[in-house]
């Protein structure tokens, strides 16, 4: 069983879809395929805006948003490796960047964001909805509203949010939000998705260094034709098509509830069950935990690396701790097509492995 926080488990029928014959990407057949995927992604993003589907990792759509953003200084909200990546991308695009950094496992306080924006120094804010390295969930609606109040735009990374945690692109008036195929969408890696507000897209046309492959204006032009500017990964579109069938049939409200139920199963195991009795904890505090990934803190007597290996030997693959958290944590990815029953089984395996390391 595969509980890595991305790429996540992919159902056999989704993988099998990739064996279909190639079709020309400049054809009515591909346009129909793109249109089907984009329309159902609008349901996932909860938007009437175009959804751009690109053959790139989500990092590509992070850069696309930055290259299309208004000129000026960037405020990056950093509480883990991937929110930190957005700051790095901004600098690589020639932007002057200031960071609000907090310890990994915390959310960036909105008061600090407001204080920074009140200075009027910033045109762009970047932040992660769900920080994959820590299992911390932040509020993209509040971040975007603050940015707007002070004349900035917000670029939101929802890579481990979309499809598992609530995203209301239109209702929350998000400027720009992006994700990838390999997380809660439960498709193979290699496709990324983004939605830009009408106002964000309009100002993007005035930005001189949008590049070519990651140019949102060009992506928008081709999306209107149900196509892509460059040759897409057709096989991945086939897989996405099947994965989205299942998501839409489940409905977003039910899918979000299932992800929260998996999160709560982990919380019960830690707070009142065998995990807590073994000294295992949760890195993220209650109230800001992501419904898609839980980061478990592992006692030194057990050891995170030893536990990860012992769990793998019992047939369950977890995510290792990331970066500086590697020696003390493991990550449980409960997203996509996983179930509460599957998560509970994985937790039983973790407990058995932990017990074996303490005897």
Taking only the tens of pLDDT, the chain with its 359 residues reads: 899 999 999 999 999 999 999 999 999 999 999 999 999 999 999 999 999 999 999 999 999 999 999 999 999 999 999 999 999 999 999 999 999 999 999 999 999 999 999 999 999 999 999 999 999 999 999 999 999 999 999 999 999 999 999 999 999 999 999 999 999 999 999 999 999 999 999 999 999 999 999 999 999 999 999 999 999 999 999 999 999 999 999 999 999 999 999 999 999 999 999 999 999 999 999 999 999 999 999 999 999 999 999 999 999 999 999 999 999 999 999 999 999 999 999 999 999 999 999 96
Establish if 326 belongs to a structural domain: yes
| Strand ranges in the chain using DSSP code E only, listed in sequence order | 2-3, 52-55, 73-78, 97-101, 122-128, 130-131, 136-137, 153-157, 176-180, 191-196, 281-282, 293-297, 317-320, 329-333
pLDDT at 205: 96
* Co-location of 17 and 156 in the same domain: yes
* Co-location of 258 and 197 in the same domain: no
pLDDT at 179: 98
* Co-location of 258 and 309 in the same domain: yes
* Co-location of 282 and 194 in the same domain: no
* Co-location of 227 and 257 in the same domain: no
pLDDT at 235: 98
Q: In this structure, what token pair is assigned to residue 95?
A: 């932007």
* Co-location of 170 and 283 in the same domain: no
* Co-location of 261 and 234 in the same domain: no
* Co-location of 160 and 92 in the same domain: yes
CA pair distance 248, 340, nearest whole angstrom: 20
pLDDT at 69: 98
| Residue 184 DSSP label | T
pLDDT at 318: 98
* Co-location of 138 and 282 in the same domain: no
CA Rg value for the chain: 20
CA pair distance 74, 84, nearest whole angstrom: 12
CATH of the domain at 42: 3.40.640.10
CA pair distance 272, 35, nearest whole angstrom: 47
* Co-location of 290 and 229 in the same domain: no
Q: How many domains does the chain have?
A: 2
Q: Give the structural domain span for 36.
A: 11-249
Instruction: Report which of 78, 146, 140, 76 is spatially closest to residue 111, judged by C-alpha positions.
Output: 146
CA pair distance 10, 17, nearest whole angstrom: 11
Residues with Cβ within 8 Å of residue 354, at least 6 apart in sequence: 278, 280, 298, 302, 307, 310
């Amino acid at each position: 069983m595969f509980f890595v926080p991305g790429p996540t488990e992919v159902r056999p029928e989704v993988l099998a879809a990739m064996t279909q014959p190639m079709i020309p990407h400049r054809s009515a057949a591909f346009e129909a395929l793109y249109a089907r995927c984009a329309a159902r992604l609008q349901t996932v993003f909860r938007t009437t805006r175009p959804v751009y589907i690109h053959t790139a990792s989500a990092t590509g759509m992070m850069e696309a948003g930055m290259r299309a953003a208004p000129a000026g200084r960037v405020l990056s909200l950093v509480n883990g490796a991937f929110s930190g990546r957005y700051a790095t991308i901004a600098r690589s695009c020639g932007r002057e960047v200031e960071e609000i950094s907090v310890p990994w496992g915390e959310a960036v306080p909105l008061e600090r964001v407001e204080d920074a924006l009140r200075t009027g120094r910033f045109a762009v804010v970047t932040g992660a909805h769900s920080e994959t390295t820590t299992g911390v969930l932040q509020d993209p609606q509040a971040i975007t509203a603050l940015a707007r109040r002070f004349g900035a735009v917000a670029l939101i990374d929802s890579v481990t949010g979309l499809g598992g945690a609530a995203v209301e692109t239109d209702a929350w008036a998000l400027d720009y939000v992006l994700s990838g195929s390999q997380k809660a969408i439960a498709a193979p890696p290699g496709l990324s998705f983004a939605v830009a507000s009408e106002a964000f897209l309009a100002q993007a046309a005035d930005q001189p260094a949008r590049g070519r492959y990651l140019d949102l204006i060009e992506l928008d032009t081709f999306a209107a034709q149900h196509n892509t500017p460059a040759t897409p990964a057709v096989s991945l579109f086939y897989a996405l098509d099947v994965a989205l069938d299942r998501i839409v049939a489940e409905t977003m409200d039910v899918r979000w509830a299932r992800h929260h139920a998996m999160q709560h199963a982990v919380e019960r195991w830690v707070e009142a069950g065998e995990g807590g009795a073994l000294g295992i904890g949760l890195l993220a505090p209650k109230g800001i935990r992501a419904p898609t990934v839980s980061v478990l803190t592992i006692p030194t007597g057990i050891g995170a690396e030893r536990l990860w290996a012992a769990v793998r030997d019992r047939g369950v693959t977890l995510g290792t701790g990331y970066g500086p958290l590697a020696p003390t944590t493991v990550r449980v990815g409960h997203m996509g097509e996983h179930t509460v029953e599957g998560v509970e089984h994985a937790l039983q395996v973790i407990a058995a492995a932990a017990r074996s390391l303490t005897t």
